[in-house]
Amino acid sequence: MEKPGQPHFRVGISVGKKIGNAVHRNWVKRRIRQSLLELKPDLKQDVDFLVIARPRADQISMADAKHSMIHVLKLAKLLDSNYSEE
């Protein structure tokens, strides 16, 4: 959701109870948060968005989590057009 004039992006992270116990859910949230922090300079700043983790999200590696996040953000056109993966 675009918010013109907003100085930075805002993110909501939702991890359902189908993903393990509280420890696993917090672990998934930390991975999502870290992926977004690494992508922060390339993200549009005037948007709010929600990330919903799906049931097998606790079984993927950090690299796969970041790659998945990049893919979704490109589809949503929230990454700068000149972004390239290292």
Mean pLDDT of 54-76: 88
- pTM value is 0.81
78 burial via Cβ count (<10 Å: 0-12, 13-18, 19+)? middle
Asked whether the CA dihedral 79, 19, 34, 51 is positive or negative, the reply is positive
Pick the CATH number of 10-75 from 3.30.230.10, 3.30.2020.10, 3.40.50.300, 3.90.245.10: 3.30.230.10
Host H or E run for residue 26: helix 22-39
Between 3-12, 29-38, 55-64, 67-76, the lowest mean confidence (pLDDT) is in: 3-12
The residue ranges of every structural domain in the chain are 10-75
Q: Is the pLDDT assigned to residue 81 strictly greater than 70? A: no
pLDDT digits (tens, 9 = 90+) for 21-37: 999 999 999 999 999 99
Host H or E run for residue 49: strand 48-53
Asked whether the CA dihedral 64, 70, 72, 74 is positive or negative, the reply is negative
25 burial via Cβ count (<10 Å: 0-12, 13-18, 19+)? buried
